[in-house]
Amino acid sequence: MLGLEALSMQGLPIDELLLTRESEDNLRDLAGNAMSSTVVGSAIIAALIVGMKHLEPGTGEVQIKMDIDEESTISVRVV
């Protein structure tokens, strides 16, 4: 894989970058194993779309059972 291809796979806009002095090895190293925010964002959106059918509508409140005794509960509003 070429260095520019590796950068493109990371979601970086290679047509907007000024890459004139870097060798192919430098570009591959620059791409590295990092994940850019565009790649992570699209993965999160895809997971939410796929998992949407498994989510149930709620009131925004969560019941938390405390370990102190069996009857202690606390209501927490998640905003």
Give dist(CA 59, CA 77) in Å, integer. Answer: 9
Condensed to tens digits (0 to 9), the pLDDT of residues 51-76 reads 888 777 776 666 665 566 666 666 65
CB 4 within 8 A of CB 31: no
pLDDT at 2 (0 to 100): 86
- Supply the DSSP symbol for 19: -
Give dist(CA 17, CA 35) in Å, integer. Answer: 17
In the predicted structure, residue 78 carries a pLDDT above the cut 60: no
pLDDT at 12 (0 to 100): 80
Per domain, the residue ranges of the chain are 3-77
pLDDT mean across residues, the chain = 78
pTM: 0.42
Per-residue pLDDT, averaged over 29-54, amounts to 82
Q: Tokens 């070429």 belong to which residue?
A: 2
